[in-house]
């Protein structure tokens, strides 16, 4: 039996699963979907008067109060049931939601009642997979469901909702439509190749390819920001030993997370903590102090500091203003740039311990030239200004109204599509035969179709939906 046939049989089965997290709570929910969902409910549900009849007459999306009975006709729990009739449901099939008291035992017993009547426990993401198969959403929207569930910040929630409501679906659809049009014209030429007929205007094709490449480039270039907004923006706190890095992290977090000591080299490993600021998640990384040392353990800590800077998008370079002048700070940054490229990173120079010195007007001007933020990690002075600047540097306002790619799978597919289109454009400009250009465009269409699920396989679907929670 083929895998396709197996999948078809599997999709005709009636499935059930908890729709609420495991554990005690005020309420819980069990969902059933499939061709036999309503029949199963009719066999285990009685209304408040103890009558079994009437389930099939339930109005769409209207709640009904009653009881769930086990095989011995004994009451399992008092429940509220809602029936969503196909195709007006999340899955596009008949779907039942049973709200019950939030007991683990009760939930297990309700599931056993359903299983006894022919249902089976759903696999991870099977409800959403059926919604995709039944045309209720495309593949990118189905993936957005998982992102929405796991969203921890306002920005992550916004991006997930954007994708769930279509996001770049329209852009991808238009792009695919354009490529299909190009392909059809060029394949028509191949059909009439013996007659030396040219159906497609080469200059128009080149223009359409250029537009497609430009739009794809915009989406690809948005991934870095989109991924950071979704998973947290990495911020490396770096500087010499005893400059106040750990104190700064503790001050930002408002808790004693990092050990603070006057002994140089106390921090020998990176410490990472997350914090939400203005709807964004930032991952602050406290690093070992950078200096020349022969201590092997401390050297390893410094190497990890460099790696933290490599993966950071924002770098906070902390200077002890009581020991460091602006010239030394600049030299330190240049030395850091030799180990780790600071290109494309937002660098903030922090003149720390401002509470311990009286700066002259000349000193203040020099630090201002570096655009340094003067602060005191120990007292909290200037921390508000720092956090404000960090949020501004994230690009939140810039990307607020833009469509951003947040999914790694989509990014990789777009890169493959872009590569195929660039080859096609080069072939077109070089006057290559039509069949060569057609092959590259056909490849691009195949790739772009994988984003929304126009082109897909059981392997791809299983890989995507296996990462979902069971009840979704």
Q: What is the pLDDT of residue 207?
A: 84
Average pLDDT of the residues in 52-62 = 80
How many residues are present in the chain?
472
Q: What backbone phi and psi angles, to 5 degrees, belong to 85?
A: -90, 140
Q: What is the pLDDT of residue 111?
A: 96
Q: Cα(350)–Cα(327) distance, rounded to whole angstroms?
A: 14
Average pLDDT of the residues in 392-407 = 81
Percent of the chain with pLDDT over 90: 43
Q: What is the pLDDT of residue 265?
A: 47
Q: Cα(186)–Cα(208) distance, rounded to whole angstroms?
A: 13
Q: Is residue 211 pLDDT above 60, yes or no?
A: yes
Residues 412-466: tens digit of each pLDDT: 999 999 999 999 999 988 888 888 888 998 999 999 888 888 776 677 778 778 8
Residues 77-135: tens digit of each pLDDT: 999 999 999 999 999 999 999 999 999 999 999 999 999 999 999 999 999 999 999 99
Residue whose pair of structure tokens reads 């916004």 in the numeric block: 158
What is the DSSP code string of 305-316? Answer: HHHHHHH-SEEE
3-class secondary structure, 405: coil
Indicate if the alpha-carbon torsion angle 215, 216, 217, 219 is positive or negative: positive
Q: Cα(334)–Cα(58) distance, rounded to whole angstroms?
A: 73
Q: Cα(229)–Cα(232) distance, rounded to whole angstroms?
A: 6
Percent of the chain with pLDDT over 70: 88
Q: Cα(264)–Cα(261) distance, rounded to whole angstroms?
A: 8
Q: Which helix (H) or strand (E) holds 120?
A: strand 120-121
Find the range with the poorest average confidence among 16-25, 42-51, 401-410.
401-410
What is the Cα 371 distance to its own chain's centre? 34
* Cβ–Cβ under 8 Å, residues 65 and 80: yes
Q: Is residue 13 pLDDT above 60, yes or no?
A: yes
* Cβ–Cβ under 8 Å, residues 98 and 444: no
The CA-CA-CA angle for residues 78, 80, 84, to 5°, reads 145
DSSP class of 394: T
* Cβ–Cβ under 8 Å, residues 376 and 354: yes
Q: Cα(220)–Cα(403) distance, rounded to whole angstroms?
A: 11
Q: How many CB atoms lie within 10 A of CB 350?
A: 26
Q: What backbone phi and psi angles, to 5 degrees, belong to 157?
A: -65, -45
Residues 279-289: tens digit of each pLDDT: 899 999 988 77
Question: Which pLDDT band holds residue 28 (cuts at 50, 70, 90)?
Answer: very high
Crossing angle for the helix pair 361-369 and 326-339, to the nearest 10 degrees: 20
Ordered by where they begin, the domains of the chain are 3-136 (3.30.1360.120), 146-222+405-453 (1.20.120.430), 239-399 (3.40.50.300)
Q: What is the pLDDT of residue 379?
A: 93
């Amino acid at each position: 039996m083929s895998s396709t046939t197996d999948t078809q049989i599997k999709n005709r089965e009636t499935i059930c699963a908890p729709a609420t997290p495991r554990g005690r709570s005020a309420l819980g929910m069990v969902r059933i979907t499939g061709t036999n969902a309503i029949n199963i409910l009719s066999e285990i549900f009685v209304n408040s008067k103890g009558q079994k009849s009437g389930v099939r007459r339930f109005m769409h999306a209207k709640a009904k109060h009653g009881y769930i009975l086990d095989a011995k006709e004994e009451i399992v729990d008092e429940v509220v049931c809602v029936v969503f009739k196909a195709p007006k449901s999340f899955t596009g099939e008949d779907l039942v939601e049973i709200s019950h008291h939030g007991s683990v035992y009760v939930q297990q017993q309700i599931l056993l009642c359903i299983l006894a009547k022919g249902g089976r426990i759903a696999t991870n993401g099977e409800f959403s997979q059926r919604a995709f198969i039944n045309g209720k959403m495309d593949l990118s929207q189905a993936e957005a469901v998982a992102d929405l569930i796991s969203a921890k910040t306002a920005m992550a929630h916004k991006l997930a909702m954007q994708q769930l409501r279509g996001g770049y679906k329209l852009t991808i659809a238009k792009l695919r439509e354009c490529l299909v049009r190009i392909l059809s014209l060029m394949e028509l030429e191949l059909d009439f190749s013996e007659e030396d007929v040219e159906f497609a205007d080469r200059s128009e094709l080149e223009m359409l390819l250029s537009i497609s490449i430009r739009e794809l480039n915009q989406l690809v270039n948005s991934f870095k920001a989109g991924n950071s907004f979704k998973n947290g923006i990495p911020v490396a706190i770096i500087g010499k030993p005893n400059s106040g890095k750990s104190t700064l992290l503790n001050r930002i977090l408002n808790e004693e997370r990092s050990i603070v000591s006057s002994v140089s080299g106390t921090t020998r490993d990176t410490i990472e903590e997350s914090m939400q600021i203005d709807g964004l998640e930032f991952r602050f990384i406290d690093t070992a102090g950078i200096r020349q040392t022969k201590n092997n353990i401390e050297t390893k800590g410094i190497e990890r500091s460099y790696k933290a800077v490599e993966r950071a998008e924002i770098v906070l370079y902390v200077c002890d203003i009581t020991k460091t002048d602006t010239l030394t700070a600049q030299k330190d940054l240049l030395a850091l740039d030799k180990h780790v490229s600071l290109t494309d990173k937002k660098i903030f120079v922090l003149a720390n311990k401002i509470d311990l010195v009286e700066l002259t007007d000349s000193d203040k001007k020099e630090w201002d030239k570096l655009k340094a933020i003067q602060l005191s990690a120990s007292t909290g002075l200037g921390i508000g200004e720092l956090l404000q600047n960090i949020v501004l540097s994230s690009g939140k306002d810039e990307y607020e109204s833009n469509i951003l790619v947040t999914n790694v799978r989509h990014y990789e597919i777009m890169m493959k599509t872009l590569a195929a289109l660039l080859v096609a454009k080069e072939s077109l400009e070089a006057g290559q035969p039509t069949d060569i250009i057609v092959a590259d465009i056909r490849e691009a269409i195949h790739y772009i179709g994988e984003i929304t699920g126009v082109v897909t396989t059981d392997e791809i679907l299983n890989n995507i939906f296996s990462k979902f929670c069971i009840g979704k």
